[in-house]
Homo-oligomer: A and B are copies of this chain.
Amino acid sequence: MQAKPATRLYVSAGLAAGAGVALAPAEAHRLKDVLRLRPGDDVAFFNGRDGEWRATIAELGPDGGTAVAAEQVRLQQATGDLWLVFALVKRPRLEWLVEKATELGVGALLPVTTARTIADRVNPARLAAIAREAAEQSERLDLPDIHAPAPLAKLLAAWPKGRTLVLCDETGAAPPIAEAAGAIPPGPIACLTGPEGGFAESELDALRKLPFVFPVGLGPRVLRSETAALAALAILQALAGDGSAARLRVSPAVASS
C-alpha cells in the first residue's frame, strides 16, 4: 500500500478510476503556486460525491491542469445533517466560526440577521475558501452549504417540515442541553444561536411559539455568539450526531475513517 498523499484537496471535477481530472485555473494555481506541487506528485482528491481518490498530477498551467485518479481510498459517506443557524457576526469571528463549524461536521451554515445583529454582509468567496480548507484538513468528504444572510423571520417562515430547531436560549429559562437532548424529536436538527446582545424578547416569544423550536441552555456563563455556536455544535454532535455512540454503532465506517 502506498503512503497516503500529504495533500488532500477538494476539486469540482468527477473522480473515477483512470479518469483524467480536469483542474480549474484556480485549482491548478493553488496546487502549483501555493502548495508547490509538480507533475508526478501524488495528491488526494474529494469532490463531495465520489469519495476520496489518490491521484497523480499530470499538468499544471495558467489555464488549468489535469491529474489522473489512480485509486479510491475512501467511499463517499452520507453527509452529516446538522445545520447551524447563527446571528451574523463580524470578521474575524465569522471566519473562525466557519472554520470550526466545518471541522465539527456542520452540513449547512445559515447566517441570519436579528433585531440586535450588527453585521449584515459576508464575503461568500472568502467563506467558501475557509470552509474548503477546513474540510480538507479535517478529512471531511464534502463541503458545508453556506447560505446567503437572511432575516431570521424570513427563514422561520419557510422552515423545512420535520427539522427541529434547537434554540440556544441564554436567558436561563431552558433546560440544560445534555438533559434536554434526549427529548429532541427524531429527524434532522438545526441549532440556532443569537447575536452578542442576545435575542430581543419579542424574538424569543415568537421562537418559543413555533412547534419545531426546542429551547436548551448552554450553562451559566454568557458565551460570545461564535463560542455558543461552536459549543452547541460540539455538544449536539457528541450527543446525537456523528460523534455519538448511536451513530457510530450504525455506521462503523465513520468511526474508523
Q: Give the interface of A toward B (CB within 8 A).
A: 96, 99-100, 103-105, 137-140, 172, 175-179, 217-224, 227, 230-231, 234-235, 237-239, 241-245, 248, 254-257
With contact pairs A230-B234, A234-B230 given, residues A242 and B255 touching in the complex (Cβ less than 8 Å): no
B-side contacts of A235, CB under 8 Å: 234-235, 238
Closest B residue to A178 by beta carbon equals B238
With contact pairs A100-B230, A227-B104 given, residues A221 and B139 touching in the complex (Cβ less than 8 Å): yes
B-side contacts of A178, CB under 8 Å: 238-239, 243-245
* Oligomeric state, in copies: 2
A-B pairs, top 4 by smallest CB distance, nearest first, are: A219-B243, A231-B234, A179-B245, A220-B254
Check if B255 sits within 8 Å of A103, measured CB to CB.
no
Across the interface, A223 reaches (CB within 8 A) one of B103, B245, B255, namely: B103
Check if A172 sits within 8 Å of B255, measured CB to CB.
yes
Closest B residue to A77 by beta carbon equals B220
